[in-house]
């Protein structure tokens, strides 16, 4: 957890003067990769801890960028409601897309999957277990969901 928090801090410091969509893209790559790697273990506490750290770091960065603006204005501008939670997001206008919204991934929203152990006596080379392995392979819960 400490390593990802240090990485997030480094990314935010490195992109201090960059545009927000670039910062959000870079943060999302790192957070999504780390979250998908750790989704198979009991990680909800760690995910919440990292989410809080990301919020604190982004809040500090936004406060530095807009020193004379009140906190309420900053929160309205940079945090929008998405799926019942407030998420750091920015609208960006380009020639191709008039209004594109970039949002920082919340790790607590990543679906956590439990790994289902294979039965100890199950052997994939024996015919009596062929149905068991067929069901296991085609179980929708075992597929990675984004």
53-87 pLDDT, tens digit each: 999 999 999 999 999 999 999 999 999 887 777 89
Q: What is the mean pLDDT of residues 132-145?
A: 70
For residues 36 and 110, the answer to whether their CB atoms sit within 8 Å is yes
Assess whether pLDDT exceeds 50 at residue 145.
no
Assess whether pLDDT exceeds 60 at residue 141.
no
pLDDT digits (tens, 9 = 90+) for 80-130: 887 777 899 898 887 777 788 899 999 988 877 777 788 899 999 999 999
**CB contact burial 3-16 (16+ within 10 A = b; e otherwise):** ebbeebeebbeebe
Looking at residue 10, its pLDDT comes to 96
3-state SS of 35-99? HHHHCCCCCHHHHHHHHHHHHHHHHHHHHHHCCCCCHHHHHHHHEEEECCEEEEEEEECCCCCCC
Residue 140 — very low, low, confident or very high, per pLDDT cuts 50/70/90?
low
pLDDT digits (tens, 9 = 90+) for 24-57: 999 999 999 999 888 878 778 999 999 999 999 9
Distance between CA atoms of residues 83 and 141, nearest Å: 22
The more confidently predicted of residues 92 and 6 is: 6
For residues 9 and 57, the answer to whether their CB atoms sit within 8 Å is yes
Enter the pTM of the model.
0.75
Residue 144 — very low, low, confident or very high, per pLDDT cuts 50/70/90?
very low
Distance between CA atoms of residues 143 and 3, nearest Å: 28
């Amino acid at each position: 957890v400490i390593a990802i928090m240090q990485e997030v801090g480094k990314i935010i410091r490195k992109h201090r003067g960059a545009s927000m969509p670039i910062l959000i893209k870079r943060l999302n790559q790192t957070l999504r990769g780390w979250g998908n790697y750790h989704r198979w273990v009991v990680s909800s506490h760690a995910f919440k801890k990292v989410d809080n750290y990301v919020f604190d770091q982004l809040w500090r960065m936004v406060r530095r960028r807009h020193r004379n603006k009140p906190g309420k204005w900053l929160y309205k501008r940079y945090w929008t409601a998405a799926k019942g939670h407030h998420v750091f997001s920015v609208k960006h206008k380009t020639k191709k897309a008039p209004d594109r919204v970039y949002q920082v991934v919340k790790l607590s929203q990543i679906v956590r999957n439990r790994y289902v152990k294979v039965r100890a006596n199950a052997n994939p080379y024996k015919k009596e277990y062929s149905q068991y392995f067929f069901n296991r392979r085609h179980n929708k819960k075992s597929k990675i969901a984004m």
